[in-house]
Amino acid sequence: MKVLGIESSCDETGVAVYDTALSGAAGLLAHAVYSQIALHAEYGGVVPELASRDHVRKLLPLIRQTLAEADLSVADLDGVAYTAGPGLVGALLVGAGVARSLAWALDLPAVGVHHMEGHLLAPLMEDDPPAAPFVALLVSGGHTQLVAVDAIGSYRLLGETLDDAAGEAFDKTAKMMGLPYPGGPQLAKLAETGTPGVFKFARPMTDRPGLDFSFSGLKTQVLLAWRNSDQSESTRADIARGFEDAVVDTLAIKCGRALDAAGCDTLVVAGGVGANKRLRAKLQAMCEQRGGRACFPRPALCTDNGAMIAFAGALRLEAGQREPAAVHVTPRWDMAALPLV
Ligand code: ATP
Ligand code: MG
Ligand code: FE
């Protein structure tokens, strides 16, 4: 089954075709992402209405480009999947409207995908995919969650952030130290040149049991350290390294606890912060030490993309899931409410 996937929940327009007749990475016939970063940069954050309008401009050309790369025409498609939530309502409606219209015109089944289920299942698009049960760490710009995955479609929230998401903490910390928008990846890059241990920040909420996170206090610690420093280039790199180590350690400690709680040894990591090199290395080492494994999508499939939507949608369409033809989105959506696949 060849499924066209459309992602438009925030500031990336993503389109892909996934073919379930081929498994793992081979199934991804083509994918393309257009990032609106430059558009929003001057505002220092995503402007929802500008995001919607840019999705309108870019979505159809991107669909044409993706089909051409896969050497397919619309007539070769067997289904359409689109992000139905959570996300910015206007941005979601653009993707949903285009997806539903295409499906209607081509007489194809269509399915609305939960954006975080898309992230969560992205590692299953790689070769040698893990099988449920496993624990998923979802670390993105808007979410930091530990989820017990008993089966695909059966998600139990084990813990989540009480304030900032990990990606949000990366972005805000970078901004405080004067790094350009969006700061997360830039901060991570800077951290590579920093010296570990020069700045030591807290590992929030690791001194007591539990699987929830809090990153806003860490951000304040960094702000104070930065204000009281000489603000030189090398200090900025050292602080970036101290911050990154604190986030990575905190995530690793909680992942270990979540694996214990769920009684399994497979950890799946997804979402934009999953592209972080130090986090990948740390979680890999932690899982290997336990005799298990950590599974990640390739970095390009950690951040928002259409491939994860095509893949998650394909699993649901293959299982026979169908929805009425209405253009309907769910800007706030609990993943635990999803039906089993
Ligand atoms: P959500 O999926 O929760 O709705 P989102 O879609 O905005 O949020 P993603 O696209 O999954 O989030 O990820 C973007 C986030 O990942 C940003 O906060 C960004 O700073 C962060 N990020 C990307 N690369 C890295 C990296 N190498 N190190 C740390 N953070 C990173
Ligand atoms: Mg984004
Ligand atoms: Fe996302």
- The residue among 271, 253, 7, 313 whose CA lies nearest residue 116 is 271
Same domain, 289 and 320: no
**Residue 301 alpha carbon to ligand 3 centre in Å:** 10
Tell which atom from ligand 1 comes closest to the C-alpha of 304: 10
Q: 172: domain CATH number?
A: 3.30.420.40
pLDDT at residue 323 tops 90: no
List the one residue out of 91, 99, 140 whose CA is nearest residue 117: 140
Probe target for ligand 1 pocket from 273, 279, 282, 330, with the most ligand atoms within 8 Å of CB: 273
Q: How many whole angstroms from 177 Cα to the centroid of ligand 1?
A: 18
Are 53 and 186 part of one and the same domain?
A: no
pLDDT at position 31: 98
Q: Could you tell me if 323 and 204 lie in one domain? A: no
C-alpha 21 – ligand 1 centre gap (Å):
30
Identify any residues that bridge with 184 across adjacent strands, giving them in sequence order: none
- Residue 127 forms part of a structural domain: no
Q: β-strand 134-139 against 266-270: which pairing, if any?
A: parallel
- Measured in Å, residue 299 CA sits from the centre of ligand 3 at 13
Same domain, 287 and 238: yes
Residue 158, domain member (yes or no): yes
Q: How confident is the model at residue 190 (pLDDT cuts 50, 70, 90)?
A: very high
216 and 284 assigned to the same domain: yes
Would 78 be classed as within a structural domain?
yes
pLDDT bin (cut points 50, 70, 90) of residue 94 is: very high
Q: For residue range 42-81, what is the model confidence (pLDDT) as tens digits?
A: 998 999 999 999 999 999 999 999 999 999 999 999 999 9
With the most atoms of ligand 1 within 8 angstroms of its CB, the residue from 55, 140, 334 to mutate is 140
CB 259 within 8 A of CB 269: no
- The Cα–Cα gap between 139 and 149 comes to 16
Task: Return the ligand number nearest the Cα of 138.
Answer: 1
pLDDT, averaged across the chain: 97
pLDDT tens track for 213-225: 999 999 999 999 9
- Three-state secondary structure readout of the chain: CEEEEEECCCCEEEEEEEECCCCHHHHEEEEEEEECHHHHHCCCCCCHHHHHHHHHHHHHHHHHHHHHHCCCCHHHCCEEEEEEECCCHHHHHHHHHHHHHHHHHHCCCEEEEEHHHHHHHHHHHCCCCCCCCEEEEEECCCCEEEEEEEECCEEEEEEEECCCCHHHHHHHHHHHCCCCCCHHHHHHHHHCCCCCCCCCCCCCCCCCCCCCECCHHHHHHHHHHHHCCCCCHHHHHHHHHHHHHHHHHHHHHHHHHHHHHHCCCEEEEECHHHHCHHHHHHHHHHHHHCCCEEECCCHHHCCCCCHHHHHHHHHHHHCCCCCCCCCCCCCCCCHHHCCCC
The answer to whether position 84 is within a domain reads: yes
Q: Are residues 75 and 161 in the same domain?
A: no
Q: Which atom of ligand 1 is nearest to the CA of 184?
A: 20
Contacts of 278 (CB under 8 A, 6+ apart): 188, 191, 244, 245, 248
Domain shared by 231 and 272, yes or no: yes
Closest-lying ligand 1 atom to the alpha carbon of residue 302? 11
Residue 102 shares a structural domain with residue 144: no
Do 283 and 317 lie in one domain? The reply is no
Same domain, 174 and 263: yes
CA distance 341 to 338: 9
* CA-closest residue to ligand 1 atom 16: 272
210 Cα: distance to centroid of ligand 3 (angstroms)? 25
Q: What confidence score (pLDDT) does residue 105 get? A: 97
State how many domains the chain has.
Answer: 2
Are 292 and 305 members of one domain?
Answer: no
Q: Tell how far the Cα of 229 is from the centroid of ligand 3, in angstroms.
A: 34
Dihedral angle sign, alpha carbons of residues 295, 321, 1, 332: negative
Residue 23 within a domain? yes
Residue closest by Cα to atom 23 of ligand 1 = 272
pLDDT value of position 27: 97
Instruction: Output the ligand 1 site: residues, CB below 6 A.
Output: 10, 115, 119, 140-143, 167-168, 170-171, 182, 184-185, 188, 271-273, 275-276, 303-304
What six digits make up the tokens of 300? 């390009």
Are 61 and 149 in a shared domain?
Answer: no
Asked if the structure places residue 146 within a domain, the reply is yes
Residue 23 has pLDDT above 90, yes or no: no
Whole-number percent of the chain with pLDDT over 70: 100
Domain residue limits at 309:
2-122+301-337
272 falls within a domain: yes
Give yes or no for a contact between 27 and 104, defined as CB atoms under 8 angstroms apart.
no
- Find the 12 Cα to ligand 2 centroid distance in Å: 5
**Mean pLDDT on 129-157:** 97
pLDDT in tens, 254-309: 999 999 999 999 999 999 999 999 999 999 999 999 999 999 999 999 999 999 99
Among protein residues, the one with the nearest Cα to ligand 1's atom 7 is: 141
Confidence at residue 222, expressed as pLDDT on a 0 to 100 scale:
97
Instruction: Spell out which residues have Cβ within 5 A of ligand 3, the ion.
Output: 140, 304
Task: Tell me whether residue 46 is in a domain.
Answer: yes
Residue ranges for the known binding site for Fe cation are 115, 119, 304
Sequence-distant (6+) residues with CB within 8 A of 163 are 214, 215, 216
pLDDT computed for residue 29 by the predictor: 98
In our burial notation (b when 16+ CB lie closer than 10 A, e otherwise), range 19-34 reads bbeeeeeebbbbbbbb
According to the model, what pLDDT value does residue 301 have?
Answer: 98
